[in-house]
Amino acid sequence: MATATSKEIDALERVKDALPPGYVPSDDENYMNTQQQNYFRMLLIEWKRSIRSAADQTLQSLQDGPIREPDLNDRASSETDWGIELRTRDRQRKLVSKIDAALRRIDEGEYGYCEVTGDPIGLRRLIARPVATMTVEAQEAHERREKVSRED
């Protein structure tokens, strides 16, 4: 897995240059203006780069060789740790696709708006979860419907 493409690096540099130092979106400005979009683009690209970097480190560790613990308990513990690490990387791989989708939504001007209601998601929610696609209320309703479906 490559750490970052030159396209991503160029985009990140352009976004960083366009933002004032220390910029953080605030409710005092127009929602999803160019600076806010650039801020979230920067967050998403940096998040994606860190995920890819961690994946590269995991891959390198796996290529370094098999587990050679002489004690069976130590070997079992190491294998369990690797299993957890690999599951974490798989979840992060899925997260990268959500990050890519969020970057596409920024490009299309749809980022920051609920895919269900069309209402603004809100800056605080997006800062906490930049890949959010629904308002808190819409997400809660979705989870309630999901829970009811599972119980049926």
Of the candidates 1, 13, 21, the residue with the CA atom closest to the CA atom of residue 41: 13
Predicted confidence (pLDDT) at residue 148 exceeds the cutoff of 90: no
pTM, full prediction: 0.77
Is residue 126 within 8 Å of 91, Cβ to Cβ? Answer: no
Predicted confidence (pLDDT) at residue 3 exceeds the cutoff of 60: no
81-99 confidence digits (pLDDT tens)? 778 877 887 888 889 999 9
Mean pLDDT of 100-126: 96
pLDDT given at position 64:
66
Mean pLDDT of 110-131: 96
Q: Which two tokens mark 118?
A: 């069309």
Local confidence band at 1 (pLDDT 50, 70, 90 cut-offs): very low
Whether the CA torsion 12, 48, 127, 102 is positive or negative: it is: positive
Domains belonging to the chain, first-starting first, are: 6-112 (1.20.120.910)
pLDDT given at position 151:
74
Can you give the three-state secondary structure of 27-59, one letter per residue? CCCCCCCHHHHHHHHHHHHHHHHHHHHHHHHHH
The residue with greater pLDDT, 61 or 125, is: 125
Distance between CA atoms of residues 131 and 94, nearest Å: 12
Local confidence band at 131 (pLDDT 50, 70, 90 cut-offs): very high
Distance between CA atoms of residues 148 and 70, nearest Å: 50
27-80 confidence digits (pLDDT tens)? 999 999 999 999 999 999 999 998 888 877 777 766 666 666 777 787 788 778
pLDDT given at position 117:
95
